[in-house]
Structure 1
């Protein structure tokens, strides 16, 4: 019985080790393109630092305030943290040069908050003309 339990333990250990060896390696961050680097250079040092802080520490709502960033991309940014530089955000799925350019424009504009739309006023329904009374 002891040898059977030892066999099962060895078998379980070998399966767990083989599973760990076959797990896909973690994706290493790619070097940003020259266009991304050029766009990032247009940021002032303070804007760059604020954008990096937002990317690394912003909550879901704050990330979703960035133009082009919805819930899925915001969660992707959160999963990719910590980012060493703002250009590393392009390694997140769904964020390319265009979205990055929107992020930079948002930072250069001073991180404006999205305007809340006032509820639309309902127009009064047109009154039906009184039907002529039968004689």
Structure 2
């Protein structure tokens, strides 16, 4: 009986240690390309801070206001939090240089949704 209790204890402890080790590992964000770095440098310090705040604390609606971000990408952005810099978002699946450039343009425009162009009226 002692053997089974000891065996069970060892199994429980090893599973607990393995689970604890799995939660401490964090995936380092990829090193941004020179193009991404150049795009990021077009933002002011205030714009970077506001975008970083949005990425770290924004709700679904705020994230989906960013051009190119829908429900799936917003959920992925939230799951990958926290971010230490705006380029860290490139580690999120589905976020590439193009989407990041759209985020930067959104920040540079004052976080305003781009206005949709009215449909052209057909000629009479």
Which of the five TM-score ranges fits, normalised by the shorter chain? 0.7 to 0.9
Q: Distance in 2 between matches of 1:4 and 1:48?
A: 58
Kindly name which structure, 1 or 2, has the bigger radius of gyration based on alpha carbons: 1
Structure 1: segments with no counterpart, 5+ residues? 117-135
* Deviation per residue, 1:69-94 (Å, 9 max, x gap): 01111111112222111111111110
Note the 1:1-135 alignment, pairs <5 A.
1-14=1-14, 16=15, 19-20=18-19, 25-113=25-113
Does the aligned pair in 2 maintain the 1:60–1:71 contact within 8 Å? yes
Using the TM superposition, name which of 34-43 and 21-30 deviates more. Answer: 21-30
TM-score scaled to structure 1, two decimals?
0.72
Structure 2: segments with no counterpart, 5+ residues? 117-124
- Runs of 4+ off more than 6 Å: none
User: Per chain length, whose mean CA-contact separation is higher, i.e. which structure has more relative contact order (CA < 8 Å, sep 6+)?
Assistant: 2
Cα RMSD, aligned residues only: 2.5
Q: Give the aligned length.
A: 115
TM-score scaled to structure 2, two decimals?
0.78
